Structure 1
């Protein structure tokens, strides 16, 4: 099964999955409040399953 990956631009901004700014996302990662991304070469991304699980756990209304 292939993983579906999402990048910072897909998570942040008004049209993003989370609807938060890039700096807020990076701050949350640094504080351990959001899952750390995977690094694949120069690409930084998250498994969509991890993001969806985080959203479910934090009851974010999108």
Structure 2
């Protein structure tokens, strides 16, 4: 017993603050766990010049 302090009210306030803290922590932790796939660069195939066949278009001279 303490004069001027209602211990029941203090307990309820602490429980409410604890619930708010747990819900805030869980929402922040849930945001951090979201895994995004890494962005992979799109690789385009290199096109060779097939219209010219003079022996030098492919770089070997054959």
Alignment TM-score > 0.5, same fold: no
* TM-score normalised according to structure 2 size: 0.24
Structure of greater relative contact order (alpha carbons < 8 Å, 6+ residues apart)? 1
